Amino acid sequence: MASLMDELLGVLRQEKQGYVTLAGFAEEKRECIIKGDVDKLDAISEKEQDETAVLKNLEHKRVKILKDMAVVLGKDGEEISISNMIEMLERQPGEQAKLIQAKDELVQQASEMQLANQQNEILLRHAMEMVEFDLTLLKSLKQAPETANYDRNAYNTGDILGNSGFDTKQ
């Protein structure tokens, strides 16, 4: 059981380090969004996907270790979690404290990374709104204004001035 606990604590530390790495990528992405550096943003996203794959593998390893621990303790492996393990370790306060600390650190780091991603999402949304505004502005600059011509029912005819702006029929 002790070797399983050491292995579990090691996986939790590795997961925390993975989230630290992802949080660093989120900070780099924020800078790229602000500067508008799309190429570097793409490169960071690829690195982020690689790190996410590593984290997914660590998650599978953690679940396997927890199932093995449940078998050793004579419990159902499907219902076991870190929180359950903390409760089961009441008689081993040293191991329980290590597990609590590892869990808290992992949750804290994951929360920080989530907050950074939410901030980046807001920045991207604002950047997209600015692009949309710029496109609308450019479209409106290329359109000619409507004339103030009315038909006999007093409706605007919607005639548009020509591109030259100079009327040669006068």
Q: How many whole angstroms separate alpha carbon 104 and alpha carbon 123?
A: 29
**How confident is the model over 18-49, as pLDDT tens digits?**
999 999 999 999 998 888 888 999 999 999 99
Model pLDDT, residue 138? 82
Say what the pTM is.
0.72
**Which of 18, 98, 20, 105 is CA-nearest to residue 58?**
18
Model pLDDT, residue 147? 62
**How confident is the model over 91-105, as pLDDT tens digits?**
888 888 999 999 999
Q: How many whole angstroms separate alpha carbon 167 and alpha carbon 170?
A: 7
Model pLDDT, residue 139? 80
- Mention every residue, 6+ apart, whose C-beta is less than 8 A from residue 11: 58, 61, 62, 65
**Which residues face 160 on adjacent strands?**
146
Query: What are the extents of the domains in the chain?
Result: 2-129
Percent of the chain, pLDDT > 70? 84
Residue 167 in this model has a pLDDT that exceeds 70: no
For 146, the 3-state DSSP assignment is strand
Percent of the chain, pLDDT > 90? 45
Specify the CATH architecture of the domain 2-129: Up-down Bundle (1.20)
Q: How many Å is the maximal CA-CA distance in the chain?
A: 101
Q: Which tops the pLDDT comparison, 89 or 18?
A: 18
